[in-house]
Every structure is written in C-alpha cells, then in structure tokens.
C-alpha cells in the first residue's frame, strides 16, 4: 500500500434526537457560562430556545449571520462578542453560522460549540472563509475545528425539502472531490464512499417525506462523513469554481454547489477513471456513468439545473472563468478556458451535465 498521512483533530461529537439538551453539560465541561449565540435573522427563535435551556445564562446573541462570511459582518460580530464579554461561542444553523463561529474563534480563541441544522459539513473542517470586495478567500487553521458538535436530528425537521436536497448535495460535493484529491488517501476515501451512500439514499426519502427521522439521521451522518473528507484532503475544480460564483456574484451557497457538482465532475471525468467507477457504483441509477447518476439525482430531488435561476447573468460567465484562472490550483485535468466556459454555459442554461472529452 502507498504511504500516506492522516491527521485527526480533537473534537467531541454528540449525535442523536434531542441531543441539544446536553448543551448545558457540554458548556460546563468546557468551563464556560456566558455563550454568545450566533444565528441568522430567520432563526432568532433558536436564541430563545437556547436561553431557556440555559436558564437565561447567555452573554447575548448575534443574529446577522450572512452567507459567504462577509468581512464587515465578522468585524461587527467580533465587536459585539467583546462588548458582552462572552466566554464561548454557540453557532446554530447552517454553514454560514458555523463559518462565522470559526472566523470568530480564529480572532478570539473562545471555545466554539456548533449545532448544525443543515447538511453543510462545515463543522468538521478547519477551513475558514471570508468574502471582501466580491472575492471569497479561504485558509486552513487546524485549531478552527469546533470543540463540540451537536447533531440533533429533530432540529433538521423544519428544513424544507428543497433546501434539504441542495444542502445534502453541497455535502456530497466534499466527498466526491475527496475521491480524486491530490492528497487523497484510503481513510478519506472510506469517509467519502460512506458519505455518498448515505446522502444519495436519504435525500430522495426526505423529499418524499419531510418528517422521516431515519432518513434525516442518515443525511446528518452523511454530512458528517463528507465534512471529514473536506477536513482531510484538499479541494479542486468544484470548490474553487463555487467559491468564485458565490464570492463574486453572491449566489446562494448550497444551490450553487448542487448545480455545479455534476458539471465539474463531467469536466474532470476523462482524467479520473478510478473515481468515476467508484462513484458509479455508489450513486443509485447511474447505469455505469456517475455523471448521469448525479443528473438523475438532481432531477429526482426537483433541484434546478440553472445558475440563471439563481440570479447569475450570462455576461458573468466570462468574468467567472477569468477570475477562476487568475489563481492557479491543482486539477487532475488541465484547466482550459474554452471548456470551462462551456461548462458554465450549460450550468447557466440549465442543461444536464455532459462529459467533455
């Protein structure tokens, strides 16, 4: 077997229905008593829920969590955190809330407990993102992985079916890229395969029955496994392109990842035959072709194929390609501007992904 390195980080994970009830004991274990609660403007009820759970013992809340972690929002959150003298951070919500928690941890060193209510997987990664002047950048800080993750499946039951589907495909993208990562290894591949299996089987069940607790538990587990992939290996075309689309045009994160997933895979397919075989074996209804399998999965889940539907303009295609190529990155297939424009044009028009030879 080829040599490889695998680095694990200290993190405590609580998984199961009603596991949020263990938050008080987890904060006590960390020696914390004044958490700052981080969430989005649409999820302020979580602040009340946590305050009740903690008998009102919170430092305060910051409810202006914003997609793609804008630098000015992070600075405002930092000032608020310092003004209320918080001794820890509790992020509750999707990847944006977790992302802000990680950004604040880097600046303050305060323990971070996160409670994911979507399938983003950010809670498992050391990746810290920021958007400034329409440019999204990321860096890796191994210490930024949250100290505690609470996966309470009951909290995901209010996530609408379409949002569940796009969030799950966002998580699946982490696993798909792990199978052909430059620094891939058998451990990451094991997480990837298990994550893909769990998400590909659970998401259609969730769309059919939003209250299927077993399906939602499987999806959370799949998100956990997929997040571990993103924590353990580097990313390539899919994530780099989605960062450009999200940071430059402010396209919604999960929906963009869902649309781009089969297209990025189709672009790379000729150069990653082994990964394509593994994917075809683990994505239902692939018929031996992983790209076709992903196209069918998007159709089954009722997800739009079109970046135009997300608000992207046609003239943005050239801007996106030029921005992507400004900062070279490793790709299993060389980056060709013309082929990338064709990839984005198909995604913009809403056409199914097609392997580019």
Using DSSP's 3-state secondary structure scheme, residue 89 falls into strand
pTM confidence score: 0.90
Please report the pLDDT score of residue 143 as a whole number. 84
Q: How far apart are CA 96 and CA 185, in angstroms?
A: 28
Please report the pLDDT score of residue 138 as a whole number. 75
CATH 1.20.1090.10 residue ranges of the chain are: 161-349
Question: Domain 12-156 falls in which CATH fold?
Answer: Rossmann fold (3.40.50)
Q: Is the pLDDT of residue 6 over 60?
A: no
Higher pLDDT residue, 89 or 125?
89
Q: Is the pLDDT of residue 197 over 70?
A: yes
Q: Is the pLDDT of residue 4 over 60?
A: no
pLDDT in tens, 308-342: 999 999 999 999 999 999 989 999 999 999 999 99
Using DSSP's 3-state secondary structure scheme, residue 76 falls into helix
CATH 3.40.50.1970 residue ranges of the chain are: 12-156
Please report the pLDDT score of residue 64 as a whole number. 94
Please report the pLDDT score of residue 9 as a whole number. 67
CATH superfamily of domain region 161-349:
Dehydroquinate synthase-like - alpha domain (1.20.1090.10)
Across the chain, where does the E strand assignment appear? 12-15, 35-38, 60-62, 88-93, 112-116, 127-132, 135-140, 148-151
Q: What is the mean pLDDT of the chain?
A: 93
Q: Is the pLDDT of residue 7 over 80?
A: no
Please report the pLDDT score of residue 131 as a whole number. 82
pLDDT in tens, 116-161: 999 988 899 888 878 887 777 777 888 889 999 999 999 999 999 9
pLDDT in tens, 99-121: 999 999 999 999 999 999 999 88
Rounded to the nearest 10 degrees, what angle do helices 337-349 and 253-268 cross at? 130
């Amino acid at each position: 077997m080829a040599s490889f390195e695998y680095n694990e980080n200290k993190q405590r994970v609580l998984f199961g229905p009603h596991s949020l009830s263990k938050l008080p004991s987890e904060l006590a274990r960390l020696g914390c008593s004044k958490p700052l609660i981080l969430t989005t403007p649409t999820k302020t009820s979580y602040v009340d829920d946590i305050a009740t759970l903690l008998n009102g013992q919170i430092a305060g809340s910051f409810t202006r969590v914003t997609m793609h972690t804008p630098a000015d929002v992070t600075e405002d959150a930092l000032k608020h955190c310092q003004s209320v003298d918080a001794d820890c951070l509790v992020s509750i919500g999707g990847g944006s809330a977790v992302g802000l928690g990680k950004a604040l941890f880097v600046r303050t060193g305060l323990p971070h407990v996160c409670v994911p209510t979507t399938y983003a997987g950010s809670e498992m990664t050391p990746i810290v993102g920021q958007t400034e002047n329409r440019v999204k950048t990321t860096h890796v800080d191994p210490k930024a992985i949250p100290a505690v993750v609470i996966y309470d499946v009951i909290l995901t039951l209010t996530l609408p079916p379409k949002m569940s589907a796009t969030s799950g495909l966002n998580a699946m993208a982490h696993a798909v890229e792990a199978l052909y990562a430059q620094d891939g290894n058998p451990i990451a591949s094991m997480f990837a395969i298990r994550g893909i299996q769990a998400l590909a089987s659970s998401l259609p069940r969730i769309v059919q029955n939003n209250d299927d607790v077993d399906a939602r538990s499987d999806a959370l587990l799949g998100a956990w496994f997929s997040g571990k992939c993103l924590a353990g290996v580097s990313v390539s075309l899919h994530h780099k392109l989605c960062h450009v689309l999200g940071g430059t045009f402010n396209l919604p994160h999960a929906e963009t990842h869902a649309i781009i997933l089969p297209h990025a895979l189709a672009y790379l397919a000729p150069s990653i035959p082994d990964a394509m075989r593994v994917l075809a074996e683990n994505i239902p209804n692939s018929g031996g072709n992983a790209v076709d399998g992903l196209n069918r999965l998007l159709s089954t889940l009722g997800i739009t194929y079109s970046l135009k539907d997300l608000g992207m303009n046609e003239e943005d295609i050239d801007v996106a390609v030029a921005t992507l190529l400004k900062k070279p990155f490793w790709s299993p297939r060389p980056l060709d501007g013309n082929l990338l424009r064709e990839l984005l044009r198909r995604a913009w028009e809403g056409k199914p992904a097609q392997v580019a030879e």
